[in-house]
Amino acid sequence: MQRTLLASVFIVASCGLAYELIAGALASYLLGDSVTQFSTVIGAYLFAMGIGSWLSKHVAGNLLVRFIQIELLVGLLGGLSAGLLFLLFTLHAGPFRFALYGLVLLIGILVGLEIPLIMRILKREVAFKDLVAQVLSVDYIGALAVSVLFPLLLAPHLGLVRSALLFGLLNALVAAWALWLFRAQLGPLPALRAQCIAVLALLAVGFGFAGHYVSLAEANLYAEDIVHAESSAYQRIVVTRSRDETRLYLNHNLQFSSRDEYRYHEALVHPGLAALPGARRVLVLGGGDGMAVREVLKYPQVEHITLVDLDPRMTELFAQSPLLRELNGGALASPKLKIVNADALQWLETSTEIFDFVIADFPDPSNHALGKLYSTAFYRLLKQHVAETGLVAVQATSPLYARQSFWTVVATLEAAGWRTAPYHALVPSFGEWGYILAGKRDYRPPQTIPVATRFVTPDAIPALFHFPADMARVAAEPNRLDNQNLVRIFEREWGRVQAH
């Protein structure tokens, strides 16, 4: 009995932490700002566990029966939690936060009941000092196991919905195991046996059909037909198609539309690269879709391009899919291109290469993992890899909808010692979009664009650098690595836009 219950402690500890991690990851995927989401979810979960531990003293009757019932409840709620939350978000994002924290509190209370009950069951067989040591040791080991497996194996390969169902099944199996193992002590309990079978069957069916469920739920989230959807180790990748339009979404945020992505990428590349007729080596940070590389390859004098993108699934997808290869013109297969799948900041710290032109095409700074790529520390590091006459082009969100965010990026570059030339362009899918050219010398616009373009022309370039009153510069503090004020500003500004 002692070993059986200690083994149960290992499993329930793993499951308890898994539900916490899944809730935090889901909130981060759907709401952004990962530090805030994980912090509030973990805080609420631990608070709820404390309530559960306190309530455990009021649990009476046959403690083994109560333990089995609690395991079934935890397995059912925890196992279905990710699927329910995801479906709710796709149907109506408004009540999502209330449902998220309601489920976190309820599951946390039930998880908080588990360990005290096991300790009460074991106290007649084990001395108190040994009881506490054994139970807590196994509890912490279980938590360590799932904390390692979750980011490396479970989230990227199973996804959040199926991972939650897996741990729900484990909780239910612990209940069924305890019911069978202690059948002599418990006696005939047909109702409890039926409950075990029902919960196990429901979770098993859910696990088997989780992929179809996620596809149906996502179909409510996107107006277009989904032609590709997967969860990589770093993000949720969804490609949609509607008539002649293809769209890419990362973590449910639009990254481009094939109807007007040429405007975005031409504005990102040509005002800078056309001003550098001697550019031979180009670095693209982010931009795993290959669109920016496509524009760079139009310049015959460019001899070598290095593309650094964190997610190997992005570069593989846009190199292999016929639909997506057509969009980037097969750019990722160019012999001039070297693809590196790594964190841009870490790669810059180890690289010794110098580049004539750098494109920083990162997703918007919606969380702290991305915010570091818009920090003074990052831009100072980047400066070591740019030639004296070189330029950096930075995508910097919308100066209209996220005005202070845009000018915060400008202030950050300037605080890192760059001379900046901010500009903007209209991209219908996004609205007015902002960019910044940064160099060690003042920027001089090109007199000609020596390659074929559909949007950027020499006559149009001066207008890109003019900001009307509603986008004009505002006071902004640099985004530093230790405070990441840009993430908070960005979330606040885009939150107002989405609320309308």
CA distance 77 to 427: 44
Asked if residue 288 and residue 227 are part of one domain, the reply reads: no
| Same-domain status, 152 and 264 | no
Residues in CB range of 390: below 8 A, 6 or more apart: 276, 279, 355, 356, 357, 358, 439, 440
| Same domain assignment for residues 210 and 228 | no
pTM: 0.76
Looking at the structure, tell me whether residues 357 and 387 fall in a common domain.
Answer: yes
How confident is the prediction along the chain (500 residues), in pLDDT tens digits per residue?
556 666 777 888 888 889 988 888 888 777 766 677 888 898 998 999 999 999 998 988 888 899 899 999 999 999 999 888 888 877 666 688 888 999 999 999 998 888 888 778 777 666 556 656 666 787 778 888 888 888 778 877 788 888 999 999 999 998 998 888 878 788 788 899 999 999 999 999 999 888 777 777 777 677 788 899 888 878 889 999 988 899 999 888 889 999 999 999 999 999 999 999 999 999 999 999 999 999 999 999 999 999 999 999 999 999 999 999 999 999 999 999 999 999 999 999 999 999 999 999 999 998 888 899 999 999 999 999 999 999 999 999 999 999 999 999 999 999 999 999 999 999 999 999 999 999 999 999 999 999 999 999 999 999 999 999 999 999 999 999 888 899 889 988 987 776 55
Is residue 328 located within the same domain as residue 461? yes
DSSP 389: E
Q: Tell me, yes or no, whether 281 and 425 share the same domain.
A: yes
Active-site residue identified among 33, 139, 289, 361: 361
State the CB neighbour count (10 A cutoff) for residue 440: 15
- Asked if 165 and 272 sit in the same domain, the reply is no
Q: Contact, 343 vs 317, CB < 8 A?
A: no
Find the CATH number of the domain harbouring 486: 3.40.50.150
297 plus 174 within the same structural domain: no
Task: Provide the domain count of the chain.
Answer: 3
Neighbours of 218 (CB within 10 A): 19
Tell me: do 115 and 94 sit in the same domain. Answer: yes
Active site residue 356: no
Q: Are residues 159 and 102 in the same domain?
A: yes
Domain identity same for 337 and 403: yes
CATH of the domain at 170: 1.20.1250
Q: Which of 218, 244, 274 is the last residue of a domain?
A: 218
Domain residue limits at 165: 2-218
User: Are 312 and 214 in the same domain?
Assistant: no
| Domain boundary, last residue among 165, 192, 218 | 218
